Copies of this chain bind each other. A is one copy, B any other.
C-alpha cells in the first residue's frame, strides 16, 4: 500500500538515487526534476520509512528514556523537558519504565539496545552494578538525571541534595526553630535519602544544635510516610516546632495528619517540603519548599546528550542550583 522511493522513481522517470537526493535536499539535481519528484511524492502519498533509513545510516534518531514509574508529576516535568529538546533536534523519544524497584531495568536496557537508540537518559533510577554493565555495553552516550552511581565517570545532572537540605534547615534555624524533625527520607537511598538526612544533620551541627536521632523518621517520600511520621512524633510527644520533609508529598502527609488533629500549620507546627512540585503551591497553607528545576533538568540533560551524540564528545556532569521557594508554611518564632 504505502509507496516507496522506487515507486516515485518509476513514475517520475528517474533513479531512486535521485529521488533520495531530492527528498533529502542534498543538491545535485536541477529544478525541473526536483519539482517533478516532489509532485510525484505528494501524489503517491509517500512517507519515508525511518526504519530503513536507520538501518543504513546506523542511527535511529531516537533516544531512550528510562524512569522508575511514570506516575508522578515529578517525572512529567522532566520528560517534557527532554521531549522538547529532542523534538527540536528531530529526535524521537522512546519511553520505558524500569518497574518497581527497578525490576525491569535490565530488560529495558536490552530493549533500548535492540532499538538501537542513539543515546539514553536515565531518570531517578538507582543503578546497581549489573545494570551499569548493561548500560555501558550499549556503547552509546548516556546521562543520568537526578541520580548518581558509584562510578565517578558516569555523567549526571542533579542538584546537590545535601546542600539543598542544608539550606532548608538553616532557613528554619534562622527562623529560630531549635527542635526540628525530619520526615520522609529513606536513609538507604544513597541518592535522595542519605544526602538530605546528612544535610539536615550538618545544618544542626553547624549551629550548635544537638542531633536527636529520634527526631528523624524514615520513610519513602510518600504522602503516607509523612502521615506516619507525624503520628510517630505525636506518640513520642516530641517537642518539635518544625519539620523538614524529604518531599512535598511527605510534607502534605504531615499537614494532613495535623489537620486531622486540629494542629494548625504553621501556627502550631512549621513544615518545609522538598521538590516544589505543583501541589506545593496548591496546598493549605501553601508550602515553603526546596525547588528542583525539573523541566530545566530534563532540558539540560537532553541538550548535553544531543551534543554528545552529534559531536561525539563526552558529557560533563553538572550540579544545578536549587532554590528555596518561600510560601506560607513556616512561622518565625520569637
A residues with a Cβ closer than 8 A to B are: 1-2, 45, 47-52, 54-55, 60, 62, 69-73, 75-77, 79-80, 83, 87, 92-97, 104, 110-111, 113-116, 137, 139, 223, 249, 252-253, 255-256, 259, 278-279, 281-286, 295
When C-beta atoms are compared, the residue in chain B nearest to A90 turns out to be B111
Write out the residue numbers on chain B whose beta carbons fall within 8 Å of the beta carbon of A52: 55
Write out the residue numbers on chain B whose beta carbons fall within 8 Å of the beta carbon of A69: 80
Tell whether, in the assembled complex, residue B284 and residue A255 are in contact, meaning their CB atoms are under 8 Å apart: yes
Minimum distance in angstroms from A110 CB to a CB of chain B = 7
Write out the residue numbers on chain B whose beta carbons fall within 8 Å of the beta carbon of A278: 72-73, 223, 279
Name the one of B96, B104, B116, B282 contacting A49, with C-beta atoms under 8 angstroms.
B116
Q: List 18 A-B contacts (CB under 8 A).
A: A50-B115, A62-B94, A69-B80, A70-B79, A70-B80, A71-B73, A71-B76, A71-B77, A71-B80, A73-B73, A87-B96, A223-B281, A253-B282, A259-B284, A278-B279, A279-B279, A279-B282, A283-B284
16 new A-B contacts, CB < 8 A, other than A51-B60, A256-B282, are A49-B116, A51-B51, A51-B54, A52-B55, A69-B80, A70-B83, A71-B295, A73-B278, A80-B97, A83-B95, A83-B96, A83-B97, A87-B104, A223-B282, A252-B282, A256-B284
Write out the residue numbers on chain B whose beta carbons fall within 8 Å of the beta carbon of A94: 62, 92-95
Measured CA separation A50–B94 after assembly (Å): 14
When C-beta atoms are compared, the residue in chain B nearest to A295 turns out to be B71
Minimum distance in angstroms from A259 CB to a CB of chain B = 5
Name the one of B51, B110, B283 contacting A283, with C-beta atoms under 8 angstroms.
B283
Minimum distance in angstroms from A141 CB to a CB of chain B = 15
Measured CA separation A277–B259 after assembly (Å): 20
Write out the residue numbers on chain B whose beta carbons fall within 8 Å of the beta carbon of A92: 94, 96, 111, 115
Tell whether, in the assembled complex, residue A72 and residue B71 are in contact, meaning their CB atoms are under 8 Å apart: no
Measured CA separation A94–B65 after assembly (Å): 10
| A-B CB proximity, top 10 nearest | A73-B73, A284-B284, A252-B282, A51-B54, A70-B80, A50-B114, A94-B94, A51-B51, A71-B76, A95-B95
Minimum distance in angstroms from A98 CB to a CB of chain B = 11
